[in-house]
Structure 1
């Protein structure tokens, strides 16, 4: 908060500052007022991070790269949560479900079958266990793609 308070003091003369703060009786009231004026809420950060999470797509990233990218956004978003919620089990459970939904929605279409199976499990798996499954599935997809017969380029022979 100190950095925020220095700014108005630097731009105001002592007379202006005195008249501006005269309506407060205590130092705490002055500091609370300055804090309300110059401290931004986490809402802007939260909005930006939520937007980035929704825009992030698996596309050409490996499962591990995608998971690392979305986990970083989730970790940064969790820093904007009120402290009272960080130990509240129903909130934590709901947040983990929301993360699973965000993760599954952003996956490439070649994981559609596994995504459907995961969504119908009771109880829902954790994101970490889903990542483990996806890494295994991705390895199988790559293995079969490498072993698939290469299609030859069609050739036309012209006979005179």
Structure 2
């Protein structure tokens, strides 16, 4: 058996045997009913036992799986070991580290985890992966009673607490576009579990993506129409006002508007197509001619009708 090394392996080193790698191996062996060959529960039979050849064949099969799982550098140091348990124990001593540094990194990452540029699916998957690893490294002690026959109810309370804690942590990292959906989820009593909350958020995201730019366009249109409507209010005449054709501006002498609505005096309004352009210049000849026409008409109306007087005298 090769001597175990005391070298400390960083958690980011490829030789580091983290919990996910260990769990993957255990799941694969358990699915093939071979987990007992690395945890020691499947001991070697006696030399005169008829099961010894079968045990050796299964043991060699597990050894081959472990050799294929590790890198070439590690494979050279374990290839001559006789049992799969020896290989597993040696790898655990050499490369398995204390869980405290990894727990620290997990808590730190979860505390600062946000959705950011991830999709809701990618964010949910990444969040659950961190929470599952945290639970595997530092499992919470539960009641030893059976859940169905537990009298104290601690197990169910702990499960509900964990679900609520995970849900709050997950909702905290969502982008602002899910503010409305997040508020609706938090108003549900009792709170939904992670899968139900994710389904609600995914449905909201799919609806938003299906409408796409039309929603954004409609919001912009409403905002623009609101600004235009508010701007038009100061330029639209009331019902009891005179008709625009009967109104003459005393500033530019043009008909169709009053002084309060004169573009030449106040500039173009926001809703007008020339908004942002300089104020229109007043054509003085138009002003003078208009003024002269008004004065001429006024003088004509003020003069007596001489023809009518003569007809009466005759």
TM-score band by shorter chain is: 0.5 to 0.7
- Residue 108 of structure 1 deviates from its aligned partner by 0.5
Question: Given the alignment of the two structures, is residue 122 of structure 1 paired with residue 189 of structure 2, yes or no?
Answer: yes
Could you list the runs of 5+ residues in structure 1 that have no partner in the other structure?
A: 9-38
- Residue 6 of structure 1 deviates from its aligned partner by 5.8
- Residue 79 of structure 1 deviates from its aligned partner by 0.8
Q: Which residue of 2 aligns with 1:45?
A: 102
Could you tell me which of 105, 109, 112 is aligned with 2:172? Answer: 105
**Structure 2: distance between partners of 1:62 and 1:126:** 20
Question: Given the alignment of the two structures, is residue 134 of structure 1 paired with residue 201 of structure 2, yes or no?
Answer: yes
Q: Which residue of 2 aligns with 1:76?
A: 133
**Structure 1: distance between partners of 2:104 and 2:135:** 12
Select the structure of larger CA radius of gyration. 2
Question: Given the alignment of the two structures, is residue 56 of structure 1 paired with residue 56 of structure 2, yes or no?
Answer: no
Q: Which residue of 2 aligns with 1:96?
A: 163
- Greater relative CO, 1 or 2 (CA 8 Å, sep 6+): 1
Could you list the runs of 5+ residues in structure 2 that have no partner in the other structure?
A: 8-95, 145-154, 221-274, 278-314
**Structure 2: distance between partners of 1:48 and 1:73:** 10
- Residue 85 of structure 1 deviates from its aligned partner by 3.1
User: How many aligned residue pairs are there?
Assistant: 128
**Structure 2: distance between partners of 1:83 and 1:56:** 22
Question: Is the 1:46–1:80 Cα contact (8 Å) retained in structure 2?
Answer: yes
- Residue 50 of structure 1 deviates from its aligned partner by 1.3
Q: Give the alignment's TM-score, normalised by structure 2.
A: 0.35
- Residue 118 of structure 1 deviates from its aligned partner by 1.0
**Which has more helix, going by share of residues?**
1
- 1:83 and 1:116, CA in 2 relative to 1: closer, same or farther beyond 3 A? closer
- Residue 86 of structure 1 deviates from its aligned partner by 8.4
- 1:40 and 1:120, CA in 2 relative to 1: closer, same or farther beyond 3 A? same
> For 2:137, what is the secondary structure of its paired residue?
coil
